[in-house]
Amino acid sequence: MKGSGKKISIKKLSELSGFSPATVSNALNKKRGVNPATAEQIVRLAQENGYISQSKVKSIRVVTYRDSGEVFSDSPFFSILLESVENESRKCGYETSIINLYRRHADYEERIKSILNDTSSGVLLVGTELTEETARPFHEASLPLVLLDAWLPHLAFNAVLMDNEGGAAAAVEHLIAHGHSRIGYLSGGLRIQNFQARERGFRRTMEEHSLPVEERFFLEVPPSIQGAHERLLQILSEKREMPTAFFADNDMIALGAMQAFQANGWHLPEDISIVGFDDISFGEVFSPGLTTIRVHKKELGRLAVKRLIELIKKPQTVKTRIETVNDLIVRGSVTTPSDR
């Protein structure tokens, strides 16, 4: 039936699926009483055989998957990203709805099935906190879907993301160029895929310059301004030895750390240099201004919407990974190391 140009009948779908015509009809019309796994199987079969045309998709569901939700809390990164997605969708004539999907909620499984069985919408999945295990149901979905701000090496998704590893490498190169050889890492306690990639970039660049990666200078902190600030205050009260510079997993961590160092009488950047990642607006107005890696947040959103619309209009078997290159933004939080 594929490619025949003739619309398949419910009777034929019944024969192909092994379910009764009534069950097939109820599944396609999203009526209650059909087992979700059965409904998903029937919908997929209907799409594959042309009964459901993905070109009829008229709306985009932006699904933000949240595990702990820590990475999303208070960060302007995601509000800018989602605003860009909404603007681009509207410009292209698609209605947009945002669904916050919390893994720890009791109705989590049912909500996933509801999202993935809705053939009238394409899905833009903000997978910042996804793991390979929690991503699997989305990977098996038959509807148009693009993964945004995440990449899972063992699951092939159409994906749009930033170059995390390369951005971290540029940050470390900048510190090394200013004479730093003892560089620490402010590590977000929740090891999302983005943070893991940034850590790989950090370690690789240090090794390329034959500089030691000293685990004692890896400080684990919450990925928020307040959380990082409180944890660094505690660490500083212990009078631990410090490196001459830190790379932070994100700007929220970097800014919280800067406040903690300043509260303890450290002068930035003379006593400690810090580089962040994301280029949130707070970093520019802080004193000193935060040197950081600029992520093109609006472009990420636009590219993800365009890729999803491509899949809606013309389903493709070849999956693509689109990666934006980040920029180093130099401000005042880095200088040559002092003799402190």
Is the CB of residue 55 less than 8 Å from the CB of residue 272? no
Q: pLDDT at position 260, please?
A: 98
Q: pLDDT at position 5, please?
A: 43
Residue 253: burial class (beta carbons within 10 Å; 0-12, 13-18, 19+): buried
Q: pLDDT at position 300, please?
A: 96
- pTM for the whole structure: 0.81
CB neighbours of 166 closer than 8 A, spacing ≥ 6? Answer: 201, 325, 326
Q: pLDDT at position 117, please?
A: 84
Residues in the chain with pLDDT < 50? Answer: 1-5
